[in-house]
Amino acid sequence: MLKRLSAEFLGTFWLVFGGCGSAVLAAAFPELGIGFHGVALAFGLTVLTMIYAVGGISGGHFNPAVTLGLAVAGRFPFRDLVPYWLVQVVGGIAAGAVLYVIATGVSGYAPGGFASNGYGPLSPGGYGLFSVAVAEVVLTAFFILIILGATSRTAPVGFAGIAIGLALTLIHLISIPVSNTSVNPARSTGVAIFAHTGAVAQLWLFWIAPLIGGALGAVIWKFLLAADDDRA
């Protein structure tokens, strides 16, 4: 179990550090030209690389919503849910802390939103709570569907990490303007506590909506899409 939890910690750390780091450190400089397209790709690459690096040890969740979805789908034991959630959140916060230390090394740096998620005035596009909630639920549900499908017994072997990484990239391309993209409570928590905005007060939504979406995606897969030999 220690190896599995360590893998989840490192995977979540890399996801938050790499994805949010691209937004905080690189996208802050327009002359670098990565924009939100580069940030979206960075998030996809973090998941893709760590699935192949440590996914064989822990399953490569790096996200409490993914862990819940896999448990609902019968692919993961509910008894291990809380330990996975704990190390994922700790990994996200550790990444946020390291990123904060690096980012504040520039004279006059102001963290501002610090790649955090939000609705209303904290949404990049000014989207309201309901729009953000719908986006987070729907996108997380589809993320779980893709994960379950790509890792099913009938899927081509060895390509799951690519499909999952590209899915997360697409999700960010869709929803960065809406919520700055969460679909991952650990990612949201890891940077919200370092943001100099009201991100912490809105953090509840970025736990509830992805968890609902994760469970919903798992239910749809389990009862409508899974092959007979892939059902729990």
Phi-psi region of 112 (alpha: psi -120 to 50; beta: other; left: phi over 0): left
- If one looks up domain 2-230 in CATH, what number appears? 1.20.1080.10
pLDDT in tens, 124-144: 999 999 999 999 999 999 999
Enter the pTM of the model. Answer: 0.93
Specify the range with the lowest mean pLDDT, choosing from 5-9, 68-72, 112-116, 176-180: 112-116
Q: What is the C-alpha to C-alpha distance for residues 204 and 26, in angstroms, rounded to an integer?
A: 28
User: Percentages helix, strand, coil for the chain, rounded to the nearest 5?
Assistant: 70, 0, 30
- Looking from the CA of 61 toward its CB, the CA atoms found within 13 Å total 32
pLDDT digits (tens, 9 = 90+) for 219-232: 999 988 776 556 55
- Rounded CA-CA distance 110/118 in Å is 18
Closest Cα to residue 110, out of 29, 32, 196, 35? 196
Domain ranges of the chain: 2-230
